[in-house]
Structure formats: C-alpha cells, structure tokens
A and B are shown apart, each in its own frame.
Chain A
Amino acid sequence: MQSSNLLELAGAISSGAVRVVDLTFTLSPDFPVIVLPPEFSPAAPVRIQELSRYDARGPAWYWNNVSFCEHTGTHFDAPIHWFTGKDLPNNAVDTMPPKDMLAPACVIDCSAQAKQDPDFLLTIPVVEAWEAQHGRIPERNWVLLRTDWSKKGWRDYANLRDDGAHTPGPNPAVMKWLVEQRGIIGFGTETIGTDAGQAGHFDPPYPAHHFLHGAGRYGLQCLCNLDQLPAKGAVIIASPLKIQNGSGSPLRVIALVSSS
C-alpha cells in the first residue's frame, strides 16, 4: 500500500468524507456493571477521586485518580478472560497483536426483535438472512449485534429480575458457527456482556465467551451508536489499555464510516 493512500484517508477524515463515529459510553461511576452472585468477587465500579481542581491541592491544574474493574463501561475482552482461552499465546491485552485492534465490522440489526423480546437470541438463520442481503461475512471481521439496548435507561438496560438479567445475545450454535465457519475476529454487543443475560443457563454457559476466547478472538460490549453504522463497510478501531496481563479494559471504540 502506498503512503499516499493513508494520507488520502487522513484527508477524508478531515473533510468529513469519512465519518468518525464514537461507539463508547462515558466512563462514569453510575454506569451499571456486571452483577454476579455476591459470594463471588465483585467487579469494582468506576471511581473518580479529584486530586486538585485549580485549588490549594494544585493551583494550576485539574486531575483525578481513577479506578475501575477491567470490565467496566464500554470495554474489551481478551482471550485470557475466559478459561477456554487461558493457554493461548498472546492472549492478554498487552500481548495481543496490535493489528487486531483495527478491523472491519458487519452490523446485524436485531433492534426490532430485541424490542419485542428482551431475551432475543441471535441464531444462525438470522445471520444467514443477513448474509442473503449483504453477502457472506468476511474473515477477520467484527460482528456487531445491534439491539438499540444502549438507548435504554440504566434500569431497563441492566434489566435485572429475580431470575437474573434479561438482555439479548447470541445462542451457542451461532457463536460456534461465527467463530469456526466465518472466522470472525470478534463479537460486539450493546449490552453489559457479549453474552445474553440468561446465558449462564446455556450449553455451554456463556457461549460467546466460551467460543470467542477459546479461539483467540475478542469481545466488545456496552457499545453505543451502532445505529449510525452501515451493515457492512465500517472499520472499527478498538485498542484496549496495555494493562500487564490484563483480561480486558475500558477503551474508546471508534468506527470509520465512509459517507458515500
């Protein structure tokens, strides 16, 4: 590739010919985190402690200490996050290949179904129907599940009931199929996890985590603005913090979308 092409891209971004869409929620203390039974170690929520704000603690500067779990806010899952990916090489956020941080995305719009059914599950026939319209999902693409879940208030977003969370996600068969038959680089959702809210009851439990990370692929969750992406052709930039042996991290997820 010639360097002039890269400069052309930069020019297109500058001119607006290529739109830059932010797929990220603001990292804030009140953003819902994954809920586990309380006897397990809890994910720490985001905490922001002010160090100084142009005051006696630091007259000319404003800054904060921040702390959070690796899996808070819009965040990235590395293969080491799940037991199925624990022995893979370069399976953590600090060792994963940087080139995997940039890849095209296929966006499957299931917002209508998810509106009808909070437990909506993505299945192979749904993806095949999408492919019939947009063509086969290319290898090393992200598959992003659009549900418009990110537009809900926090309570409906978490949607916790006494039998667990009820949020949409993929079923086991489609996850295995996307990984093995389509060679996707990763799977992304608008919900708190890449898996459905009830996925602990699936076989295997948490199939997105199970199959993605077992094959060295990645997860993205708590995405927003997926409704601003085309079904095909957007390029996703998802570069997690380089945390030593990190299992994931909050990150800024950016999509490049051609305006034409």
Chain B
Amino acid sequence: MINPIDPPRRKNPLLRTRLPASPPRARSRKSHGFTRAAAEGRFMLQRCAACNTFAYPARDACPSCLSADLPFVDAPRRGTLLAETTARVPSDVYFRERAPWRIGLVKMDCGPTIVAHLHADCSEGAPVRMSFQLDKSGQAVAFARPEEETPNMDDDRQWREMTADPKFRRVLVTNGRSAIGLETVTALQAAGAKTVFVGVAEPWRPFAGEQHLRKLDGIEIVALDASDEKSVADLAADIGGKVDILINTTEYIRPGGVLDRKGTAIAREEIDHAYLGFLNLAQGFGPAMRMRGADGVNSSAAWVNVLSVYALANWPAYGAYSASQAACLSLSHCLRAELRPGGVKLTNLFTGPVDTEWFQMVPPPKVAPRAIAQAIVAALKSGLEDVYVGDVAEEIRQRLAANPKALERELDR
C-alpha cells in the first residue's frame, strides 16, 4: 500500500527549476504498434496469424513458426510478476533523477514475458494487470499494476510519471462559456485539481451557466479570448508559469460547407477561433509548459484539445467546420512534437456531434458535454493521447481504418 501524495508546497525561489530530462527514445518502427496501443489505452501484442502464438518484443517473424504475418491484436492483460529489481543508481539521467526505480519481469497469461515498470503495490508471484503507457518521451513502455484496486493507487510515483493526473495540479480551461467548458471545470474539481482557471472571452456578453460558474469555489475566472493574440499573451504573462494542464475547449461551430455559404466571413471566424486560437494559446503557454515538465508533483503535464472527429474525415453538412478542425489536428501533431522535450503530453479528444445548440438538427446519438468532461479527466489519469468519445466518434475511427473512401462517400449524405 502506498501513502497518498502530499499537496506540493510553494516553490523555494532560491532553487533552480530542474529542466525535464527524457527517458530513452529509440524504438524500432515495428515497436510503434505499441505506441498506437498506448495512445488509445489499448493493450495490444503481436499474434501470429499462422500459429496464434503471442510474441513480445516487437518482431518481424513469429518466434515459433517464422511466419511474417504478425499483426498487432488486442491481448489479455493479465500476467504474473516473476521477479522484480530496483535500479538504485542508473546511468541514464532521467532514471538517475528518479531512482530508486522498480522494474520487473512479468509472465503474461497469453505467453510472452515482458520487462515492465512496476507499480509500488506489485509484489513477486502476484497477478498483475499490464498496460502500455506513453512515457515522458512519448514512447510506449509496459507498465504492471496490481490486478485489484489498491488504496491511493493513482498516487504511485512511477505511475504518475506515465500520466497527467489532475490531482494537485493547476488547470486552465480556456473557454468557460461553453457547456463542455463548464462540465470540464466540475470534473477537474472532482478529480482533485488544486486550481482551475476558467477563461471567459468578451465578459461583457452574458452566457448560459454564468451564474453557476461564478458561484463555484476553488476556481479563478480569467479574461481570455483565445482568438486575440494580446489577450492570450496577457494571461500567459500572469499565470503561464503555473498552468500544469491546459484544456483547450475553444469552440466555434457553424453548419455549412463551401457552395451553400456566401463569402468567407464565417470561415474566417472558424479559423480565428479554432486554429489561430489554438496557435495563440500554444505560443502563449507552450514555452513555460515545456520548461516545467519536471517541476515536482505539480509539474506541467498535459495539453488537451477537444476536437471534432470530423477532423479525420470531412462531414459536408459541417464541412467548413470540419476543415477548421482538421487544421487543428495537424497543428496538434506539430505541438505534440515540440512539447515532447518537456515531457508534456498532448491529448486529442475526438467527439461526434455534441448535444448543444449548434447540432440541434442532428439526430441522436449525440455526446453529452458531461461525457466529454469525464473522458478528459479519464484520459489525463491514464495518460492517453488519442481518445474517441461516444459512439459516433468510435464508429468514424473504425470506418476510417477499414475504408477511408467508403467513409467519404457515406458522410456525403
């Protein structure tokens, strides 16, 4: 059993803020099958299509029958910890700073033996639940946790290196004017965030939920219009050094595509809010976040974007909006790479139509804003990178993987 982590004290201003070191990064191309699994929170191993043998680590041929047909498939997570060891003085800078560090050999029920990082509550001979996690280099590593829940399980020191748990962290929700923003504030507070900064643009304009927001304890309402360069820079100057998690809930949704709209004024608004808003936020808050990736219990940890799943495949009914989301998706990959030296995760949540006013005429199923908020917290707590919220988003993901052309034709309705 592990003790709960203490709330972090205020920083000693006489001490230098430690720069984030990164764990080893090199991987084979084949190994990125695990990266994909880790990004989505799935546990996948290679299984030989010819003889059904599970293999690990990543291989080009089956160790049993030499078949080259070794696809990654979802695999059972259960295993047994055979042996453990503690690295006390590692030579690698990242692990040296975090020593002692426990690793172990896990015999999977499905066959292979895997070297894994260990949760403190794992003991030799006991069953474990295996997962692939993205480490501070953004690479997949195997992580073994006890099979059953244990007290304060999420507070494990090694586990917290793999996640972006909001507990004790300070979070900026960029748009508190939206239903998603409001629900996210509530979910973060329930998850133990120390402070939630809530951005409100154009404070002279009343909005639904404003009274509710102003009555909440433990939040700070801040002036923030993501589409305005100066507004973002001003807020970053104030709180940039204490935003550990940034949740980009900026939204600007309008129906319509190309030919049935006249002119580009609305498209420009879409781009100003979604794409340039994202860019402004990244330039404002990204540098300090990248620098504070190893800044103690409340180090900077993650950047979250709430995107439409139609960033992946254009939905002509909301075609121009889809395009603005695709631009954000592309930019997010750039920002993810640029945040990597800081060990800061970038998580994209993909949602189908949300149950809000701008999707009024869209038939169910629609995603409830609360479901998105809960998915954000869950993603942070388990360190995911790509999250599909709701049935529509999951279906689009699967259809895109199966046949992008079919999806394109079928969205054109």
Interface residues of A (CB under 8 A from B): 29-30, 32, 35, 41-42, 44-45, 47-50, 153-155, 157-158, 160-162
Residues of chain B within 8 A of A35, CB atoms compared: 205
Min Cβ gap B177→A in Å is 13
Could you tell me the distance between the alpha carbons of A153 and B205 in the complex, rounded to whole angstroms? 12
Residues of chain B within 8 A of A48, CB atoms compared: 229-230
Asked if A44 meets B225 with Cβ closer than 8 Å, knowing A29-B230, A160-B205, the reply is no
Asked if A47 meets B272 with Cβ closer than 8 Å, knowing A29-B228, A29-B230, the reply is yes
Contact in complex: B265, A44 (CB < 8 Å):
yes
B123 close to A (CB within 8 Å): no
Residues of chain B within 8 A of A30, CB atoms compared: 202, 223, 225, 228, 231
Asked if A29 meets B225 with Cβ closer than 8 Å, knowing A157-B204, A158-B205, the reply is yes
Contact in complex: B229, A47 (CB < 8 Å):
yes
Could you tell me the distance between the alpha carbons of A238 and B373 in the complex, rounded to whole angstroms? 51
Residues of B in contact, count (CB < 8 Å): 18
Residues of chain B within 8 A of A49, CB atoms compared: 229
Contact in complex: B229, A160 (CB < 8 Å):
no
Residues of chain A within 8 A of B8, CB atoms compared: none
Nearest 9 Cβ contacts at the A-B interface: A154-B204, A155-B204, A29-B228, A158-B204, A41-B265, A32-B204, A49-B229, A160-B206, A29-B230
Knowing that A42-B269, A47-B272 touch, tell me 19 more A-B residue pairs with CB under 8 angstroms: A29-B225, A29-B231, A30-B223, A30-B225, A32-B205, A35-B205, A41-B265, A41-B266, A42-B266, A44-B269, A47-B227, A47-B228, A47-B229, A48-B229, A50-B229, A158-B204, A160-B204, A160-B205, A162-B206
Residues of chain A within 8 A of B206, CB atoms compared: 160-162
Residues of chain A within 8 A of B225, CB atoms compared: 29-30
Min Cβ gap A89→B in Å is 26
Residue of A nearest to B262 (CB): A41
Write out, one digit per residue, whether chain B residues 16-47 have a CB within 8 A of any chain A CB (1) or not (0): 00000000000000000000000000000000
Write out, one digit per residue, whether chain B residues 268-287 have a CB within 8 A of any chain A CB (1) or not (0): 11001000000000000000
Residue of B nearest to A39 (CB): B254
Q: List 17 A-B contacts (CB under 8 A).
A: A29-B225, A29-B228, A29-B231, A30-B202, A30-B223, A30-B228, A32-B202, A32-B205, A41-B265, A45-B202, A47-B228, A48-B229, A50-B229, A155-B203, A158-B204, A158-B205, A160-B204
Contact in complex: B203, A154 (CB < 8 Å):
yes
Residues of chain B within 8 A of A161, CB atoms compared: 206
Residue of A nearest to B204 (CB): A154
Contact in complex: B231, A44 (CB < 8 Å):
no
Min Cβ gap A66→B in Å is 11
Residues of chain A within 8 A of B229, CB atoms compared: 47-50
Could you tell me the distance between the alpha carbons of A35 and B206 in the complex, rounded to whole angstroms? 11
Residues of chain A within 8 A of B223, CB atoms compared: 30
What number of residue pairs across chains A and B have CB atoms under 8 A from each other?
A: 46
Min Cβ gap A85→B in Å is 22
Min Cβ gap A84→B in Å is 22
Contact in complex: A44, B268 (CB < 8 Å):
yes
Interface residues of B in 254-272 (CB under 8 A from A): 263, 265-266, 268-269, 272
Residues of chain A within 8 A of B263, CB atoms compared: 41
Residue of A nearest to B205 (CB): A160
Residue of A nearest to B228 (CB): A29
Could you tell me the distance between the alpha carbons of A30 and B269 in the complex, rounded to whole angstroms? 16
Could you tell me the distance between the alpha carbons of A154 and B263 in the complex, rounded to whole angstroms? 31
Min Cβ gap A162→B in Å is 8
Residues of chain A within 8 A of B268, CB atoms compared: 44
Residues of chain A within 8 A of B266, CB atoms compared: 41-42
Could you tell me the distance between the alpha carbons of A258 and B97 in the complex, rounded to whole angstroms? 75
Residues of chain A within 8 A of B228, CB atoms compared: 29-30, 45, 47
Residue of B nearest to A41 (CB): B265
Could you tell me the distance between the alpha carbons of A199 and B231 in the complex, rounded to whole angstroms? 32
Residues of chain B within 8 A of A44, CB atoms compared: 265, 268-269, 272
Could you tell me the distance between the alpha carbons of A215 and B334 in the complex, rounded to whole angstroms? 55
Residues of chain A within 8 A of B203, CB atoms compared: 154-155
Residues of chain B within 8 A of A154, CB atoms compared: 203-204
Min Cβ gap B160→A in Å is 38
Residue of A nearest to B223 (CB): A30
Could you tell me the distance between the alpha carbons of A48 and B265 in the complex, rounded to whole angstroms? 18
Could you tell me the distance between the alpha carbons of A193 and B179 in the complex, rounded to whole angstroms? 31
Residues of chain A within 8 A of B231, CB atoms compared: 29-30
Min Cβ gap A71→B in Å is 13
Could you tell me the distance between the alpha carbons of A49 and B230 in the complex, rounded to whole angstroms? 8
Min Cβ gap B238→A in Å is 15
Write out, one digit per residue, whether chain B residues 126-140 have a CB within 8 A of any chain A CB (1) or not (0): 000000000000000
Residue of B nearest to A29 (CB): B228
Could you tell me the distance between the alpha carbons of A160 and B207 in the complex, rounded to whole angstroms? 10
Residues of chain A within 8 A of B204, CB atoms compared: 32, 153-155, 157-158, 160
